[in-house]
Amino acid sequence: MLAQSPGLAAEPAGAPLDGSALDASVAFAPAALPASAELGYRTTAVVKLMEVPITLHGRTTILWRLDAGHYESHLHIDTGGFDQTSRGQVAADGTLTPDRYEEKRPFHEAETVDIDWAHGRIRFAGDAPSQVPAPGAQDRLSLQFELARLMQHFPQQLLSGSMHTVKLIGTHDIDTWNFSVEEEQSVETGRGAMRAVRFSARRTVGNVEETMDVWLGADLRWLPIRIRMVDRKGSIIDSVLQDATMQ
């Protein structure tokens, strides 16, 4: 599973990579990702209500389905009212191509983004259509599965010290996130200690820092075993794997 793909030369550590660069040399079938999966996490969330931080504890469930070139994933936290849904296609080279992204944050209405790749348009919640990014862009949920796919296909290009650049589709904009790939480490989970590689990104919005950290499990087909996000309002969601089933 971790053998270097033929025809790909490894980039030097520290060189920035993006999805299009990784996929340019060779086409792959999407078989790296499971046909279905259900991942359960223990979640601690800190959200702000009227500027007062509130700590919530709950369970996060991520469902994944892949069938006939289509994928769908749904994330739900059973406390706090946070949901994400990503639906889309799988390109001929295996790249996930989201068509629709929905997000429901605590104390907010659900927001939907529609991406029309064929006509080069993206429509954010309630806004006029605008131009889509280059192929390879991911939404905040599909990203986790696309990283898992890349870790299986391109392990020699995602070594510790390298950078992976992603155009990330949010509910109102498309931003560039630069993920640093860190050394393999051990993460304590409900399944015991698991080997993982951490992808870590930081960006500044005004005078506020947003962060996104995803730990991909080496023994779980590189699916996420821990996910930690801090948004521009200072809300924190930290989820650690407890159980997993896959087909």
Domain architecture of the chain: domains with CATH = 16-246 (2.50.20)
- DSSP states of 32-101 as a string? GS-SEEEEEEEEEEEEEETTEEEEEEEEEEEEEEEETTEEEEEEEETTTTEEEEEEEEE-TTS-EEEEEE
Q: What is the pLDDT of residue 167?
A: 95
Q: What is the pLDDT of residue 63?
A: 98
Q: What is the pLDDT of residue 106?
A: 73
The reported pTM is 0.85
Q: Mean pLDDT by 10-residue block, N- to C-terminus, for the chain (247 residues)? A: 29 43 43 90 88 91 96 92 94 94 87 94 84 91 97 93 95 93 97 98 86 97 96 89 96
Q: What is the pLDDT of residue 240?
A: 98
